[in-house]
């Protein structure tokens, strides 16, 4: 993942199952967009959201974070810069290695179906050079080291998170991300509730190459600043983009 | 892991709980040594084996593959080139992410105890620059993508492997290793029984940057050749080093 985090401090998570706000131009104030959600997500609404963001904000870095391979198609892959695949450290096995092996087994077993003939990158090579196609495709997939810290969230329920991590365990997971898995991102997710800077500070001490992002309950610039001051590269703001664009504006750092 | 696999085709796994053979000079014919085992392994016998190999064969690349952090100390870390940490794709969660988070949480929480003051790399920096020390230490730890294909083995019992992978799943795990986890090694382990070249060939098609190794039941050069011809970078030979050095010699490729 050769993505320049230098100027990215504010990322908007767009839920493809929710309506865009009347004034979607506020996205002009964010630094990147992730398309992904939990409920009612389909390949079609992902593609709609991706294409809308891409056409209205062509220069905005754009990611898809699918929570099932059903939300991924050759069209979505073509349209985004990267596919983010969560590796949930405190979830069950099916949300870490199990899911990843399944995903790559599927890619390996069905390169034609997964890729189709419309990918400019590969053109007519699909049939004759399936292996290379798979390798190209796989380059768009990057891992996110992920810790879910709100047990009452949909995200926790879906990944079978039964215990949150202590700050020491968050730090350990961050170090594992930086040193062992080498995923390019480490994501602390408080999903709907503001978790404060403690976990961020614990993780930040070990992360040099890995981007550190925080999401959950951010509704004011003061919170954004607190998280960035604790060492995060960026905050992720979701709900209030859909629900209250005035509030959303107030989450954007100076 | 900046290790040159170019000339490494034969690796010997030395079990620290077993006796060295009378004629240990046969190790002069292998290309690298991994110290690690399942039963009766302690920090002390690991260190003994590591130091013996290091002193008699100072130029041989030397790895430790601990199956518990109890087998690791500042002395073992200092004495080896790399620490190999298995990530068992078909094991339970405790043998993938769970173990890794615990390991790095422990390193992060106890840098002094883990590292001590005798590490030349860090010297007096331990107290003042704990974070940097941890980062240095973590650089010696590398992951091995691992698939255990013999359900009757001790290795399978210890990692709670309940199903073997099909060749397609082995290929998927290989692709996940190359593209997603980016571990420098992918290890197909038939532990005590010869599995033939099929899994190796399935995995090899996706591996460019990742070294592919095979272990299990190799007792003849013909088997070594078959595995290498299928695309493995190296075979790993264990049991017959301890049990029958004449047979061991016959596993060494031309």
The per-residue pLDDT for range B136-182, each reduced to its tens digit, is: 567 788 889 999 999 999 889 988 899 999 998 999 899 888 888 88
Q: Which position has the higher pLDDT, B49 or B38?
A: B49
Q: How far apart are CA A204 and CA A210, in angstroms?
A: 9
User: Under a CB-based contact definition with an 8 Å cutoff, are residues B171 and B205 in contact?
Assistant: yes
Interface residue ranges in chain B relative to chain A, Cβ cutoff 8 Å: 85, 87, 89, 92-93, 96-97, 100-109, 131, 134-135, 138-139, 141-143, 168-169, 171-173, 175-176, 178-182, 205-206, 208
Residue-level length of chain B: 254
Per DSSP, the three-state class of A184 is coil
Task: Please tell me what DSSP assigns to residue B179.
Answer: I
Whether A1 maps to a domain, the answer reads no
Q: What is the pLDDT of residues A78-91, one digit of tens each?
A: 899 998 988 899 98
Whether A109 maps to a domain, the answer reads yes
Q: Do B179 and A135 touch (CB under 8 A)?
A: yes
Q: In the block, which residue shows the tokens 């390193």?
A: B107
Whether A34 maps to a domain, the answer reads yes
Chain A, nearest residue to B85 by Cα:
A180
- Give the domain range for residue A35: 10-249
Which residues of chain B are within 8 Å of residue A96 when distances are taken between CB atoms?
93, 96-97
* pLDDT score for B33: 97
Q: How far apart are CA A81 and CA A63, in angstroms?
A: 6
* pLDDT score for B62: 96
CATH of the domain at B226: 3.20.20.390
Whether A96 maps to a domain, the answer reads yes
Helices (H), A10-84: 43-56, 74-79
Burial B99-116 (b: 16+ CB within 10 A, else e): bbbebbbbbbeebeebbe
- Gap between the terminal Cα atoms of chain B: 27
Whether A3 maps to a domain, the answer reads no
Whether B233 maps to a domain, the answer reads yes
What number is the ipTM of this complex? Answer: 0.73
pLDDT-derived band at B133, boundaries 50, 70, 90: low
* pLDDT score for A108: 66
Whether B188 maps to a domain, the answer reads yes
Task: Decide if pLDDT at A122 tops 70.
Answer: no
Per DSSP, the three-state class of B10 is strand
Q: What is the pLDDT of residues A162-186, one digit of tens each?
A: 999 999 899 989 988 988 888 999 9
Q: What is the pLDDT of residues B39-82, one digit of tens each?
A: 899 999 999 999 999 999 999 999 999 877 678 777 888 899 99
Q: How many domains does chain B have?
A: 1
pLDDT-derived band at B86, boundaries 50, 70, 90: confident
Whether A189 maps to a domain, the answer reads yes
Which among B222, B220, B218, B224 has a CA at the least distance from the CA of B237? B218
Q: What is the pLDDT of residues B186-229, one digit of tens each?
A: 999 999 999 999 999 999 988 989 999 999 999 999 999 999 99
């Amino acid at each position: 993942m050769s993505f320049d985090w230098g100027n990215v401090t504010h990322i908007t998570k767009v839920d493809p199952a929710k309506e865009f706000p009347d004034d979607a131009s506020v996205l002009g104030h964010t630094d990147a967009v992730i398309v992904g959600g939990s409920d009612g997500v389909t390949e079609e609404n992902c593609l709609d959201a991706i294409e809308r963001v891409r056409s209205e904000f062509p220069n905005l870095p754009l990611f898809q974070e699918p929570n099932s391979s059903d939300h991924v198609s050759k069209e979505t892959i073509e349209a985004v810069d990267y596919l983010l695949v969560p590796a949930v450290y405190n979830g069950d096995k099916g949300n870490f290695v199990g899911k990843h092996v399944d995903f790559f087994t599927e890619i390996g077993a069905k390169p034609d179906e997964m890729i189709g003939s419309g990918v400019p990158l590969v053109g007519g090579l699909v049939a004759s050079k399936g292996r290379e196609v798979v390798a190209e495709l796989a380059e768009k997939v990057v891992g996110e080291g992920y810790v879910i810290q709100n047990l009452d969230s949909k995200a926790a329920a879906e990944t079978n998170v039964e215990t949150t991590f202590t700050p020491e365990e968050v730090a350990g997971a961050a170090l594992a991300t930086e040193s062992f898995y080498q995923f390019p991102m480490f994501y602390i997710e408080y999903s709907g509730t503001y978790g404060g800077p403690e976990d961020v500070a614990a993780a930040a001490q070990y992360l040099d190459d890995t981007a550190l992002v925080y999401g959950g309950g951010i509704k004011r610039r003061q919170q954004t600043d607190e998280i960035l001051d604790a060492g995060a590269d960026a905050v992720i703001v979701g709900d209030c983009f859909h629900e209250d664009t005035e509030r959303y504006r107030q989450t954007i750092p100076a």
